[in-house]
Every structure is written in structure tokens, then in C-alpha cells.
């Protein structure tokens, strides 16, 4: 394979790609125990708005039919598969930075205050928005704890 980049550019790119793969492989099965330590896909924002718990997850390049949402016990799981749109020979790449393959993110739901039957989802412009109706506000249920300084 002919190296098209100067060595100074190529080596950091190769190092970064290699380290990313090592971390991805290490954390791949953590979702099975309910931990999302280093998610490769689906960076998410979670907030409360209009009596809903909202989970917005980035899934750039995903198609609606390749994404699944499941509610089990007190968790909601988003899973699916990112597929390549075209085949490019590996030797023609300078750097492969985008991710492809299966993904899963699992989020705990607050107990006793969510209406799991009323969950709705919308997928638009690579953002999956899951709206979970709340029976009562999470913010209002919070009770601040006074911290004393001695």
C-alpha cells in the first residue's frame, strides 16, 4: 500500500484509529449490564419538558427502519444498526473515522412516575426523540439536602 500522507500526518491518524478500536472493543458488551461507559453511537440529551421525560439521541446516517425502541422493566433501550451506504476499498482510505455496525443504549427510567404505555418517538434529521409521559415532575419531586460545613 502506498502511503499518501506524510509520515507526520499518517502516524497520529493510525494511532488514534487503533486506540478508538481498542476502547470500542473493551466497552462493547457493557450495555448488557446496564452501563453505557463509552458509547460509540447515540450521544444523548435527557431533559424534562411539558410533563415528559425526553431522550434525544444522535443517530446520523441511520434510517428509521434500522432503529428499535424497547421498554423493559424500568429501562428504555434504543438499538439498531448503522449500515454503509457504499463500498470503498480499504486501501483508498486515509482515515476511517465513522462507525458502522450494531449499537444499543439503555437508559434507566424513574420508578413509579412514568407512564410507559404513553411513550412516543419521532425520528427526524438523524435525531431520535423519545417522549416518556411523567405522572409527576422529576424536578418537583427532588428534595435538596443541606450540606453542613464544619
Residue 60: closest CA among 97, 20, 98, 86: 98
pLDDT tens-place string over residues 80-132: 888 776 666 767 667 666 677 788 888 888 877 788 889 999 999 989 999 99
Model pLDDT, residue 50: 92
pLDDT 10s digits, 28-87:
555 454 444 445 567 889 999 998 999 999 988 888 999 999 998 888 999 988 877 666
For 19, 24, 26, 90, 97, the CA distances from 12, given in Å and listed in that order, are 10, 18, 21, 18, 13
Residues β-bridged to residue 54:
47, 131
All domains of the chain, ordered by start, with CATH?
7-138 (2.60.40.790)
Q: What is the pTM of this model?
A: 0.63
Q: Please report, for the chain, how many H helices and E strands are present, in that order.
A: 2, 7
Amino acid at each position: 500500500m502506498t502511503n499518501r500522507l506524510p509520515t507526520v500526518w499518517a502516524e497520529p491518524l493510525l494511532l488514534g484509529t487503533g486506540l478508538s478500536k481498542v476502547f470500542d472493543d473493551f466497552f462493547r458488551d457493557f450495555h448488557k449490564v446496564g452501563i453505557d461507559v463509552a458509547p460509540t453511537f447515540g450521544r444523548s440529551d435527557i431533559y424534562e419538558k411539558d410533563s415528559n421525560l425526553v431522550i434525544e439521541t444522535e443517530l446520523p446516517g441511520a434510517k428509521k427502519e434500522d432503529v428499535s425502541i424497547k421498554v423493559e422493566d424500568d429501562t428504555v433501550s434504543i438499538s439498531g444498526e448503522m449500515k454503509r451506504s457504499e463500498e470503498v476499498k480499504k486501501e483508498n482510505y486515509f482515515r476511517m473515522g465513522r462507525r458502522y455496525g450494531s449499537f444499543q443504549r439503555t437508559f434507566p427510567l424513574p420508578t413509579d412516575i412514568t407512564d410507559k404505555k404513553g411513550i412516543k418517538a419521532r425520528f427526524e434529521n438523524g435525531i431520535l426523540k423519545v417522549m416518556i409521559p411523567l405522572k409527576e415532575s422529576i424536578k418537583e419531586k427532588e428534595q435538596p439536602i443541606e450540606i453542613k460545613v464544619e
